[in-house]
Structures are given as C-alpha cells and as structure tokens.
Amino acid sequence: MKITLSLLIAASSLALAGCSQITKENYQALEMGQDYSAVELILGAPTACQETLVLKQCQWGNEQRFIDIKFVADKVTFYSHQGVK
C-alpha cells in the first residue's frame, strides 16, 4: 500500500511539474525557426507528439491548458496556446 501511494504521489508531482512550465513567459520565449531542442529546454518534454514525413506536431499541457507547436525539419513553423496565463 505504501509503495502504491508513493508512486501515486510521485506521478502527481511530475504531472504538476510539467504543467508549471506552461506559462505565458515560456510561451513568449518561443520563436519561429527555433530548434526542437531549444523548445524542450524551455517547456520540457512534450505531453504528446504526432509525426508525418515532414511535420512534427507536439503539445505540452492538457486539454484545458496547452501549448501546441508544429515543427518542420525540427524547426518551429507555427505555435499556439489555449488557457495559458
């Protein structure tokens, strides 16, 4: 029981830490043409990514509060947000 509770607390902490990087300041630090690795330094690892031959679309956050970024050749080509304050 203690292990399950500890794992639950650890997972919740990680989820909250990821959301804490979804801020207006971090969104404003994004730039067109920025490398994927530079974006990861600002926002951390993405929550989800989808890739096709030339396009990678990644999202940081959850359904209510997120930053969505599209990359071509690992460079930012478009970014938007919802619920970021």
Model pLDDT for residues 20-67, shown as the tens digit of each residue: 799 999 999 999 999 999 999 999 999 999 999 999 999 999 999 999
For residue 46, what are the domain limits?
A: 2-82
* Sequence-separated (6 or more) residues with CB below 8 Å from residue 43: 21, 22, 26, 60, 67
How many other C-beta atoms are found inside a 10 Å radius of the C-beta of residue 69?
Answer: 23
For the entire predicted model, the pTM comes to 0.77
Spell out where 1-85 has E strands.
Answer: 48-51, 55-61, 66-72, 75-82
- Centre a 10 Å sphere on the Cβ of residue 67 and count the other Cβ atoms it contains: 25
Confidence at residue 20, expressed as pLDDT on a 0 to 100 scale: 75
What CATH number does residue 44 fall under? 3.30.1450.10
Domains in the chain: how many in total?
A: 1
* Pairing state between β 66-72 and 75-82: antiparallel
Residue 13: which residues within 8 A CB-CB, separation 6 or more? none
